[in-house]
Structure 1
């Protein structure tokens, strides 16, 4: 199986598992608050549906996507919330159907994309496999918020490898989006996967490194938990700074989550 086929398949599985989690919810349950301040379960699914729609535009109609990007540039601090709010106002069955239809259309478009094609995005341009990886990362992250709201404990899976990889690859972006110069030196990242296997990134013997459980690293780079509450460790000042600001998603710097027992700060 090719890398592209693997991530396309894993995206479908991740989406289907989240679908099972929300498909039986009552209308009142859709309004339940999630750990993202101001965001209900409906907001979380609406955000995924909105992002699938603009991702589909990026793949099939770059000019139309450019128009969406221009709108976002005029309201960088609110465009994500605005999209989620509009979708969350829909009746739950309509929202669920919209999300299902949008992700199916995007999956087909990614399957049909030419090898080597690159598509515009809010961050750097993406290939079809990279776009699918980003969608899987967001589906997992927003699914985590939903699971937390419902009191459901999800078992980590090998699909976290995609989230970890995009988190590592987005290292420099996390610095640049904050107006900081990325470190010239690459880091070593050693993560323990769900089955006890070791996932490694970067050169062995690098002067700075990050270690910890893959699940905790993924929670960190998707800003679903604060560094203080995770077993991710850094050796080196630059690596430590990265763990403070890491984000796997494109767009403005995320506010992150407050440490447990503190007041929350924001949805991303």
Structure 2
């Protein structure tokens, strides 16, 4: 603090100050966060000295000193961000497409069910896929990606491991999805992959699903509360809303016993896309 020579006696009487050195106070994952230096002042209140210094034109020369005292109590901290980094390079899908929805119905009803899997139907698939999202997302959040074997295809594991490792603890907590927090879901696209020229005549079905979630929705409903329809526009809800895109694949080649697995996925928050 620069104090004019003729004000030094006043400063000694008004304030005995010292500046705390910068040092790490909080630890979040691998990074230390520092708080700015804070000036602790002990100010005499007898005679209202600070107030008198700020009054009258004759005391203008002391205002810089009083301003310095005021700044002792201002602490600036850089705002932290909880923006979710992408888990994979996968297009961010939010809403259904009317044309794709009609095509999905045709493929599921007239191709997949009669020719590939007689027990297949979209409502049951959607219900089961929500459970899969819950399991996969919680394993991603915990960082234990080795337990994803058999749940996701092996080719996407290295990409997931790299991106999850770069997330903060807060960001990883946001990835975990509970089934009861999903308030809207739909199949965005159903696709059938086959090659008649292949001697094995391999057949695959891919289904891209979209899930809209609200953190704490289950707890709200237990209390008898329901979120408003315009919650996406309300600040108290915006940071709790996230969207998950998962693409499931299963092989239907004759003689092959296969299960549904995830071959691409992503989590994002709509509020982040508005920034």
> Is the pair's TM-score, using the shorter chain for normalization, greater than 0.5?
no
Higher strand share: 2
Q: Which structure has the larger Rg?
A: 2
Higher helix share: 1
TM-score band w.r.t. shorter chain: under 0.3
Q: TM-score, normalised by structure 1?
A: 0.24
Q: TM-score, normalised by structure 2?
A: 0.24
The structure with higher relative contact order (CA 8 Å, sep 6+) is 1
